[in-house]
Amino acid sequence: MELEVAASVALAVLIVAYGFIFGVLKRVNEWIYVSRLGEKRASLPPGDMGWPLVGKMRSFLRAFRSDDPDSFLSTFISRFGATGIYKTYMFGSPSIIVCKPETCRRVLTDDQNFKLGYPKAVKVLTGRRSFHSISNAEHKRLRRLTAAPITGSEALSMYVPGIEENIVASLEEWSSSDQPVEFLTGMKKVTFKIITNIFFGLDQVDFNFKTMEILYGDLARGMKSAPINFPGFTFHRGVKARRELVKILQAVVDERKALKGRNGSITRKNMLDMLMEVEDEDKRKLEEEDIIDILLMYLLAGHETSAHGTMWAALYLHEHPDILQKTKVRSWFHRRI
């Protein structure tokens, strides 16, 4: 009899706990961010605001790292229908997911009703003076100043030989290996080495590539996480990684300034030298904080996107040998010219 009573009590406790967890905690974000909108709530799309603080980030990251990243959106579609627009809570903020082409096009092109913005984690980890955290006017100014040194035939003529040398050396190393090569991982290493050479001229700078790769990995993962700055959380590791990266880049900037001070001028210039010298129409140069945050941002964006772009290009060329052959012929023709 006593065992039956204890079992009944335990079952009741479990039911109450289940009801509290899924009936109360699961609706905290809904109450905080949706209920206070009043009558405007009716215009919101369907969706799931997830758990307090983390929202739907765990589901998003789990799907993002799986073999089926589309499964994250599939759960919304199966629960709420193929509306193409859903409400949720991600990256520390209430969010709207848009996944229909026509709606995406409107969001990206309608500057009057939609403003450019980034998650808190991205703004914190890329820095106060990166493109993600400044006004539109300052964004245009910095973009104009920083684009000048890296565009045009003169800049490309400086970089292409080094890029080709690194790519050829890496391909030869992989082809001679008796172990399988994970292409994306390998390309990330190659593009990171190329972009750091372009930015810093590493023949003159003592650089620990392995340390930088680890730190940038932590930084990239932190940007895709909830902004919880507490030990054990991904964002906290990203904050620590940013702090170390800023120290490394500041040391490189100081070294280049000292070298220029000793020599008066530098004949073989890299991206960092150009950013330190570029001036706007009012003869204003970039501040050191501008330069470091811009370097941090470009290094992160440049090697990640280049590695993924190269991976997909190689995959599609492998699947379409006729296009690969045309590419080889065109490459040979340009070399002959």
Domain ranges of the chain: 2-115, 136-336
- What pLDDT, in 10s, does the model give residues 42-58? 888 999 888 888 888 88
Q: Which two tokens stand for residue 98?
A: 């848009």
Cβ-contact 89, 50 below 8 angstroms: yes
Report the percentage of the chain scoring pLDDT > 90.
10
CATH class of the domain comprising 136-336: mainly alpha
Q: How confident is the model at residue 268 (pLDDT cuts 50, 70, 90)?
A: low
Burial class (CB in 10 A: 0-12, 13-18, 19+), 238: buried
Q: What is the mean pLDDT of residues 145-169?
A: 75
| Alpha helices in the chain, H assignment, sequence order | 2-23, 28-29, 57-64, 71-80, 101-109, 120-126, 136-147, 153-175, 183-200, 209-223, 234-263, 271-277, 288-319, 321-336
**CA-derived radius of gyration, the chain:** 25
User: What confidence score (pLDDT) does residue 238 get?
Assistant: 93
268: closest CA among 214, 197, 185?
197
User: What confidence score (pLDDT) does residue 19 get?
Assistant: 59
User: What confidence score (pLDDT) does residue 261 get?
Assistant: 67
Q: Give the residue with greater pLDDT, 166 vs 86.
A: 86
pTM metric for this prediction: 0.69
Residue 89 DSSP SS3? strand
Q: Give the residue with greater pLDDT, 283 vs 17.
A: 283
CA distance 263 to 211: 30
Q: How confident is the model at residue 266 (pLDDT cuts 50, 70, 90)?
A: low
User: What confidence score (pLDDT) does residue 306 get?
Assistant: 85
Q: How confident is the model at residue 152 (pLDDT cuts 50, 70, 90)?
A: low
Q: What is the mean pLDDT of residues 311-317?
A: 89
What mean pLDDT, rounded, does the chain reach? 79
Stretch among 156-160, 245-249, 251-255, 303-307 having the lowest mean pLDDT: 156-160
